Amino acid sequence: MQYNVFRKLRRSVATLLVAVVAGGALIGSTAAQQSVAGSERIWAALKGDVLGDRPILLDTGLVRIEAPKRAQDAALVPVDIYIDPARASGVKKVTMVIDVNPAPVAATFQFGEDAGVTHLATRVRVNDYSYLRVIAETESGELHMSQTFVKASGGCSAPAVKNSKDALSSMGQMKLRQFVPPAEETMTKAQELQLMIRHPNNSGLQRDPLTQYFIPAHFVQTLSISQGDRLILAMEGGISISEDPNFRFDFATQGTEDIRVEAADTDGKVFTDRWPLDATGL
């Protein structure tokens, strides 16, 4: 008799657990659907201010954005933007939008003539579950968009990795890594660079850990990367670009002139540097 009671109880508990799990999954699914719908509503209200009333072509293959489905660190979300190499010369500008962020336009990248950029990677803050969108504008004025949904929370208010004293002492320092293409690819004269800039890139939503006052927004606002006098890419950024901005990209080299970088932040500070081009594979 006790065994029968135990067996019935075990069945009841198992049924309850299944119901709880199913209910939790349903709630989670509903929350995710609401997040997607909320992001779409924000974008519907926002896109006219960012792009005007021009039609936007979705998933045409001209541009593609990739990011993790669930961010390990909402303040350092890796993003990769790819442009179709066959049509890269026709793309003049790329705009990256994070719907739910306080300043949704994360950055706008302008490409130099014949720069040949087909891949651009950086790291961003994501404040809540949101679509990340990239819109490529062609020379003819067409708009092509790709999007991906990222689950993240609190990226814009997350505390800085470095303390303010260390961040300010190294602010503006730059490092450039050059990746020489493999021998079989040298005929394309394409090269890959990674630019790292020391800067707190404060969002204005972070708090000082001692005083608990908000730290004023202070970030790299403009960036220009050139080979000699030839523009590779220029950026106008905002609070969504992560602390210590990091950009990795490819480009079509012309000659062996130096790589030159100029960055300016919202406090009016200008940082410049230059490096000789590693022409090993050219």
Residue identified by tokens 């406090």 is: 267
Encode pLDDT of 120-176 as tens digits: 999 999 999 999 999 999 999 999 999 999 999 999 999 988 888 888 899 999 999
Contact 125, 77 (CB under 8 A): yes
Supply the pLDDT for residue 189.
Answer: 62
Encode pLDDT of 176-219 as tens digits: 999 977 665 544 567 999 999 999 999 999 998 888 999 999 99
Neighbouring C-alpha atoms within 13 Å toward the C-beta of 128: 14
Alpha-carbon distance of 219 to 172, in angstroms, equals 11
Is pTM beyond 0.95 here?
no
> Nearest 5°: phi and psi at 223?
-150, 140
Neighbours of 172 (CB within 10 A): 16
Contact 235, 108 (CB under 8 A): yes
